[in-house]
Amino acid sequence: MFGEYAGYALPARYQNPAAEYRAALEGAAIFDYSYAAKLELTGPDAPGFVHNISTNDVKSLPLGGGCETYFCDARARALFVAWVYHIRLADRRNALWLETTPGRGPALIKHLDKFLISEAVEMADVTEQFAQIHVAGPNAKAILESAIADSLPNLAEFQHMERTFGASATCMLRRRDPLGVPGYDIVCLNERAEGVWRMLAAAGGVPAGLDTYEQLRIEAGSPVQGVDFDDTRFVMEVGRAPRAVSYSKGCFPGQEPIVMARDRAGRVNRSFLGLKVLGDVPVPAGAKLTRDGQDVGVVTSSTPTSRLSAPLALGYVHWKHIDVGTRLEAETPMGPQAVEVVGYPPVPALS
């Protein structure tokens, strides 16, 4: 079976979904995430250029470091999300690697190009050249060490390094936890990907599909552009400010409303959080949330989940109704469905 994601046909599952899900929580699951958009920025001005037009402190990233950042307009609407990594290329030049939402690479290059005046920066969309595999679960590090026949240091999230699989498959390994369990991205040239996948599976990794990935990322509260937010959403409402916004880096597009939300209002109008569905069927995306007949929010994603013994949804809720335990109603084609605010992240992360 296949699912659709940003125009890509992906395996919805490789085997029993329950076995894939259990592997991610108890062992290690391996996901094909090659459809992520990948940009490479080179030139001496690249770090300062990205730093000046995004929400996080990119200029200070050390070699081997990374961060999550957003590109906003003047009103701080979230136009793009990116994960930025300071890398070294095969020719020993330093560069930035930007991963963004699947299918959004060309649009992000066009956006960046609007700000490029005289800076020495070159941009390339390398999505089709590189595969990307995500290994997730409490045994992810052990699976990787077995596959590369070498030890790995304990990496903080977004730290990365190069390691070789087999005789010649040199890959970038990155620590990243979008699924609420310890995770690593493995980025390699397309022609190396099949061999790397086989080595991970031989080491004990369990292949898993889109259904399991979506269930885990909703449980973790990881928003996806085009699903959980679009370019009309105030970036502070997306809930990523603690990790993706620097308040000390200087000016950037959208800085003024971001600082006003923090310092003057002290809150945002709507918060992105988890909702436990008090029924057996997930609530469809787009369902309005009400309380006492008043419109108070909207559902953006929903999934069945065994960890809450009930379906789970993500969505935006007005600040007056965000206390954990608050009961709301979701408007569905089958009639009103009761939901309960569970906060953020919806399910505690596994270490």
CATH number (domain holding residue 151): 3.30.1360.120
Q: Are residues 62 and 199 in the same domain?
A: yes
Instruction: Output the CA–CA distances (angstroms, integers) from residue 281 to 36, 285, 332, 342, in the order listed.
Output: 30, 12, 11, 17
Last residue of one domain, picked from the residues 201, 217, 233: 217
- What is the average pLDDT value for the chain, to the nearest integer? 93
Q: Are residues 287 and 204 in the same domain?
A: no
Q: Do β-strands 294-303 and 327-332 pair in parallel, antiparallel, or remain unpaired?
A: unpaired
Residue 255 covered by a domain = no
Last residue of one domain, picked from the residues 185, 217, 249: 217
Q: Closest Cα to residue 78, out of 304, 315, 236, 273? A: 236
Residue 223 covered by a domain = no
Q: Is the pLDDT of residue 6 over 90?
A: no
At residue 307, the pLDDT reads 86
pLDDT in tens, 124-158: 999 999 999 999 999 999 999 999 999 999 999 99
The pTM of this model reads 0.94
Mean pLDDT for the stretch of residues 71-78:
98
Q: Are residues 146 and 22 in the same domain?
A: yes
Q: Are residues 303 and 181 in the same domain?
A: no
At residue 9, the pLDDT reads 58
**CATH number of domain containing 320:** 2.40.30.110
Tell me the percentage of the chain whose pLDDT exceeds 90: 85
Range of the domain at 198: 2-217
At residue 306, the pLDDT reads 82
Predicted confidence band of residue 8 (pLDDT cuts 50, 70, 90): low
Q: Are residues 298 and 183 in the same domain?
A: no
Cα separation, 136 vs 205, whole angstroms: 9
Last residue of one domain, picked from the residues 217, 235, 254: 217
Cα separation, 44 vs 23, whole angstroms: 43
At residue 90, the pLDDT reads 82
Q: Are residues 35 and 97 in the same domain?
A: yes
Residue 226 covered by a domain = no
Mean pLDDT for the stretch of residues 273-282:
93
Mean pLDDT for the stretch of residues 8-22:
83
Domain count, the chain: 2
Residue 250 covered by a domain = no
Residue 195 covered by a domain = yes
Q: Which token pair is 323?
A: 């206390």
Q: Are residues 199 and 56 in the same domain?
A: yes
Predicted confidence band of residue 267 (pLDDT cuts 50, 70, 90): confident
Q: Are residues 98 and 206 in the same domain?
A: yes
The sign of the torsion formed by the CA atoms of 48, 52, 56, 57 equals positive
Tell me the percentage of the chain whose pLDDT exceeds 70: 97
Residue 228 covered by a domain = no
Q: Are residues 293 and 197 in the same domain?
A: no
DSSP 3-state of 117? coil
Residue 176 covered by a domain = yes
Q: Is the pLDDT of residue 82 over 50?
A: yes
Q: Are residues 9 and 89 in the same domain?
A: yes
Cα separation, 230 vs 248, whole angstroms: 26
At residue 2, the pLDDT reads 34
Q: Are residues 47 and 133 in the same domain?
A: yes
Mean pLDDT for the stretch of residues 273-290:
94
End-to-end CA, the chain: 31
At residue 151, the pLDDT reads 95
Q: Are residues 59 and 141 in the same domain?
A: yes
40 contact partners, CB below 8 Å, separation of at least 6: 95, 96, 97, 98, 123, 124, 126
Q: Which token pair is 295?
A: 């419109």
Residue 297 covered by a domain = yes
